[in-house]
Amino acid sequence: MSGFRSADLRDAPQTVRVLTRRVDLLAEVLDLDRARVRDWGMAQAVLSAWWIIEDGSDKWEEQIACAELLAAIERS
């Protein structure tokens, strides 16, 4: 779930709603457990942040913010 810009993350409640909808859609369409889809997204965001750090960039905060927002989605 990369591609977020800092400005997009400022409205956290709206962003959590969008991410929740995306997780729900992926889980439904792919017939996967919702919590697993959510956790996969969090893992991918953290991995992306690590790759950014390895590349010597300081833009990793956006990916961690995405992981934190995904963590705000309730498990079901």
- Of residues 55 and 1, more confidence is placed in 55
Handedness of CA 10, 13, 16, 20 (dihedral sign): negative
Predicted TM-score (pTM) of this structure: 0.77
> 67 in a domain, yes or no?
yes
pLDDT, average across residues 53-63: 93
Residue 68: both structure tokens together: 């934190």
> 15 in a domain, yes or no?
yes
> 1 in a domain, yes or no?
no
> 50 in a domain, yes or no?
yes
Number of domains into which the chain is organized: 1
Residue 10: both structure tokens together: 């400022």
Q: Is 60 exceeded by the pLDDT of residue 5?
A: no
What tens digit of pLDDT does each residue of 9-39 get?
A: 556 778 888 999 999 999 999 999 999 999 9
